[in-house]
């Protein structure tokens, strides 16, 4: 035999169902925002870890290069400069000296020029 359910009970259940259905989009968006924030946080974490690893590799490479330069004898250094630039060290030094002298002349002439007054 079917029992009759109180209309207040069915009304309360209907209201609860409507409330759950009505809140579902907001809860779904909240979950989406939380997952997006978590993914962005992990991406930033990975970027920082990658930068730290590249910094360590860079330091190691710099250390090796400096050790190589410090342990190199003069004849090896001269041969390396010739191979890389095609110039002799004396020629490079004279070119550098000429550039420095022209820069000094420019500074001297600027220092001797009186200021322009309106």
DSSP per residue over 64-115, as a string? HHHHHHHT--HHHHHHHHHHHHSS-HHHHHHHHHHHHHHHHHHHHHHHHSPP
Flag whether 37 is in a domain: yes
Angle between helices 74-85 and 89-112 (to 10 degrees): 70
Q: What is the mean pLDDT of residues 3-11?
A: 82
Residue 85 forms part of a structural domain: yes
Indicate whether 50 pLDDT > 90: yes
Q: Are residues 66 and 79 located together in one domain of the fold? A: no
Residue 46 lies in a domain: yes
Residues 65, 17: one domain? yes
pLDDT digits (tens, 9 = 90+) for 56-107: 999 999 999 889 888 888 788 777 777 777 767 767 777 888 888 887 776 6
Angle, vertex CA 96, rays to CA 90 and CA 97, nearest 5: 90
The per-residue pLDDT for 45 is 96
pLDDT at site 34: 97
Q: Say if residue 101 is in the same domain as residue 77.
A: yes
Domain membership of residue 117 (yes or no) is no
Are 22 and 65 contained in the same domain?
yes
Helix (H, G, I), strand (E, B) or coil at 117: coil
Q: How many residues does the chain have?
A: 118
- Mean pLDDT for all residues in the chain: 83
Average pLDDT of the segment spanning 32-53: 96
Q: Does residue 7 belong to any structural domain of this protein?
A: no
Least confident among 3-7, 39-43, 106-110 = 106-110
Which among 17, 37, 19 has a CA at the least distance from the CA of 29?
A: 37
Per the domain annotation, does 51 fall within a domain?
yes
**20 and 63 both lie in a single domain:** yes
Question: Do 96 and 64 have their domain in common?
Answer: no
Which residues are CB-contacts of 82 (< 8 A; sequence separation ≥ 6)?
A: 88, 89
Task: Print the domain residue range for 55.
Answer: 13-71
For the chain, the domain total comes to 2
């Amino acid at each position: 035999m079917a029992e009759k359910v109180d209309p207040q009970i069915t009304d309360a259940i209907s209201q609860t169902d409507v409330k759950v259905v009505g809140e579902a989009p907001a809860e779904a968006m909240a979950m989406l925002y939380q997952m997006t924030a978590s993914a962005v946080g992990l991406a930033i974490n990975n970027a920082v870890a990658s930068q730290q690893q590249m910094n360590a590799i860079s330091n190691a490479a710099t250390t090796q290069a400096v050790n190589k330069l410090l342990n190199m004898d003069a004849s090896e250094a001269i041969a390396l400069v010739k191979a890389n630039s095609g110039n002799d060290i004396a020629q490079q030094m004279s070119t550098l000296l000429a550039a420095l002298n022209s820069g000094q002349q420019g500074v001297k002439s600027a220092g001797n020029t009186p200021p322009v007054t309106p």
